[in-house]
Structure 1
């Protein structure tokens, strides 16, 4: 559903300029960022071509490429727009003319940092039009082999992104993940500096094809068997951060703010653009009768706990944190929580290849974690650990597969001394997927250490 968001559109307060060398052709490139009118969006202008043709920054103009995102309208082509788009979207610049005097943006150091700093130094002004927001109302996922990217309904007025990167045990790039709720400040500090990366063999193949003639190991991250060659990491998880940066730039081609939760696993530019198209297609196919009668319709209730609050209480982390948000909680009595089941859950790699089904024990673990939230309201989680003592009366009634939203309902909760018990129910829509009776021993953390 598209709504008029709560924030006004923004453009630059003054012009900004960045000069650098293009990765593809090795040419000197100057890119100028200029203020633009409200509702005009981001437009790339080829100032080096007769008539200064322009290309709107929208997914309908994406030209298929490997390892990058390109835009084309007519004879005007702009290569490698993703880092510029990420900088604009990350700093919430909605309307901008991006003029360049070459077919590609400058590569800089392989990150968005130079663009983001220039944009930030130019400043932003608010405009008298509200920014459109696309609220993800239903799960949408796209897949290509082992790569997936999915969008799920999330908390009101928030976009949460997570990227999981795993190229296997033989890769010199270790498995890693990065989770972010981007704001302009966090984007500039934590995401914009993350640089593009590739393997040494890939770099040699590109050079043999005439690409990267003026690019060295100092200009991006090239991984050999022992790690980066001639360079050092800015963050331990810099590769996952850069893939999330690419995701920000590619999803900005929707042309609207997004509200929801986007989860990616090994996805690249082509798959990111496919998700952007799928979101717009879902939006255009929505029955108008389903839309609210007016913009004054009540906003959905915010969750009782978002993922950040859950992580403050629970010791679990990826890949074993199986809760995305708590919808409602009545301390000491009941709780309702949500788990978005995505194609990139690690257990789907073996359960089963070609026919992914969530293992029943993982559904039970999700129930146990939901019950753990209730327990943490009774016992200080900094001093106690709830451990499963028994699971009884287990019934598995429905398969849970990628794209499902697992609603976890915990009730009949009670505590006695150092024991806790509850009844758990897992639903997908109106169908019961599983239920069980759970019992826990609540143990002082000091006793575990001993």
Structure 2
């Protein structure tokens, strides 16, 4: 039998100031039922709103990860800087916990995860009746933004490898790689502290950040060395803390991940993008277990196109009149590869646009009654960008959202992805006409 879910045995509390808001907060960890996940609870607000620690609830990533949900007054109920808490929970394999706060940010403590990890160890662990649900990554997932790169490779456990490289005479390049587990986290990662460059302090304060920051809550790096009285806890403490942060962000996937995650210079913004792509892969797999929403035969009953010009293989998601997701598997047998280009086959960009349009057209035609008497013609194509060539072996994922649909004219925002990266995007306008 596999591992069972865990919660904590007893409730524990700690108090202090939040590093960015400067607010005084008391935070209490409480046991939670199996299957409930990690939930932050704002007990200072009417109704005690809960904010589940899930990737879909991320609202900000400026120097920390903030999650939030809509409140009854229309304002977002936020919990700032959750990554150190989540990393501690992940390291101890705690699946379910209720975390009550009387303000909007966990205490920063000494800038490391030790305060949270220590309290959770003190609380003890309790096995529950439901098995842990792991996500064993079946394929490579990557995100990139300039020199920032993140790649998740299939692996039989969670390993994080990280490279930092700052243009600074004290803080230069560092690399570390750890297989994530309780013992490794406790000995090698939990004590590593958050850090910032002294030259960035005033700019961060001007942005309304680090109101609770000090030499007791972070390592400050000056031009000649660190400005703290306490020496570094590890020679490579900075890259270790980046691994800690990334572990916390990965916890927003909602289940333990089995993969080797390799980061070059990533921060919370790019970490969150990777988790979003990982979640898409997981959700697609779960949907495929239940069978596709519409296979090629069902698509052919809605769309007038036929081989070789039917360019959508499957519809994975359909929110009637609002959003659609489809895929096309690109094979070397596509007829246009004979001439585009001999020796270097590249999927024509105009056909990516056509495939996007067909996916959106499926959403439109599926929503109307007289689809047999209706055709859709292009009326406009705007804001087109091609980001990366598509080649045989790729799987194109099309995501379209309806912008407007009035008097037979529909406008959609469309993006095409390969391995989580945007390869094409456009705004498409189509007109409905009688056959």
- Short-chain TM bin: 0.5 to 0.7
Matches of 1:284 and 1:53, distance apart in 2: 26
Question: In the alignment, which residue of structure 2 is the partner of 1:264?
Answer: 263
1:168-247 equivalence runs, <5 A: 168=167, 170-231=168-229, 232-247=231-246
Matches of 1:233 and 1:179, distance apart in 2: 19
Alignment match of 2:43 (pick from 44, 47, 51): 47
Question: In the alignment, which residue of structure 2 is the partner of 1:393?
Answer: none
Contact 2:20 2:213 in 1 (8 A): no
- Alignment RMSD (CA, Å): 2.2
Q: 1:25 to 1:132 in 2, by over 3 A?
A: same
| CA deviations over 1:62-103 (Å, ceiling 9, x no partner) | 002311100110131100011111111111111000100111
Give the deviation of 1:25 after TM superposition: 2.4
Question: In the alignment, which residue of structure 1 is the partner of 2:375?
Answer: none
SS in 2 for 1:185: helix
Matches of 1:133 and 1:25, distance apart in 2: 34
Matches of 2:207 and 2:158, distance apart in 1: 39
Matches of 1:64 and 1:209, distance apart in 2: 13
Question: In the alignment, which residue of structure 2 is the partner of 1:28?
Answer: 24
| CA deviations over 1:118-146 (Å, ceiling 9, x no partner) | 00111101101011111111000001111
Matches of 2:289 and 2:207, distance apart in 1: 52
SS in 1 for 2:103: coil
Matches of 1:153 and 1:209, distance apart in 2: 39
Give the deviation of 1:265 after TM superposition: 0.8
Question: In the alignment, which residue of structure 2 is the partner of 1:275?
Answer: 274
Contact 2:158 2:260 in 1 (8 A): yes
Matches of 2:258 and 2:207, distance apart in 1: 41
Question: In the alignment, which residue of structure 1 is the partner of 2:93?
Answer: 92
| CA deviations over 1:298-325 (Å, ceiling 9, x no partner) | xxxxxxxxxxxxxxxxxxxxxxxxxxxx
Give the deviation of 1:111 after TM superposition: 1.1
Question: In the alignment, which residue of structure 2 is the partner of 1:77?
Answer: 78
Q: TM-score, normalised by structure 2?
A: 0.63
Contact 2:90 2:251 in 1 (8 A): yes
Q: TM-score, normalised by structure 1?
A: 0.61
| CA deviations over 1:263-291 (Å, ceiling 9, x no partner) | 11111111111111101111222386679
**2:114 matches 1:123:** no
Give the deviation of 1:206 after TM superposition: 2.2
Q: 1:177 to 1:25 in 2, by over 3 A?
A: same
Matches of 2:109 and 2:287, distance apart in 1: 45
Give the deviation of 1:219 after TM superposition: 1.7
Matches of 1:148 and 1:280, distance apart in 2: 18
Give the deviation of 1:214 after TM superposition: 4.2
Give the deviation of 1:166 after TM superposition: 1.2
Question: In the alignment, which residue of structure 2 is the partner of 1:104?
Answer: 105
Matches of 1:58 and 1:287, distance apart in 2: 17
Matches of 2:280 and 2:210, distance apart in 1: 36
Matches of 1:53 and 1:59, distance apart in 2: 18
Contact 2:19 2:217 in 1 (8 A): no
Question: In the alignment, which residue of structure 1 is the partner of 2:161?
Answer: 162
Q: 1:97 to 1:290 in 2, by over 3 A?
A: closer
Question: In the alignment, which residue of structure 1 is the partner of 2:136?
Answer: 135
Matches of 1:113 and 1:6, distance apart in 2: 29
Matches of 1:121 and 1:73, distance apart in 2: 30
Question: What count of residue pairs does the alignment treat as equivalent?
Answer: 288
Give the deviation of 1:184 after TM superposition: 1.2
Matches of 1:187 and 1:284, distance apart in 2: 29
Question: In the alignment, which residue of structure 2 is the partner of 1:317?
Answer: none
1:301-320 equivalence runs, <5 A: none
**2:147 matches 1:146:** yes
Question: In the alignment, which residue of structure 1 is the partner of 2:348?
Answer: none
Contact 2:23 2:104 in 1 (8 A): no
Matches of 1:255 and 1:108, distance apart in 2: 25
Matches of 1:218 and 1:260, distance apart in 2: 35
SS in 1 for 2:282: helix
Question: In the alignment, which residue of structure 2 is the partner of 1:330?
Answer: none
Q: 1:171 to 1:63 in 2, by over 3 A?
A: farther
Q: 1:36 to 1:287 in 2, by over 3 A?
A: closer
Matches of 1:106 and 1:205, distance apart in 2: 22
Q: 1:275 to 1:214 in 2, by over 3 A?
A: closer
**2:12 matches 1:19:** no
Give the gaps of 5 or more residues in structure 1.
Answer: 293-403, 405-450
Give the deviation of 1:107 after TM superposition: 1.2
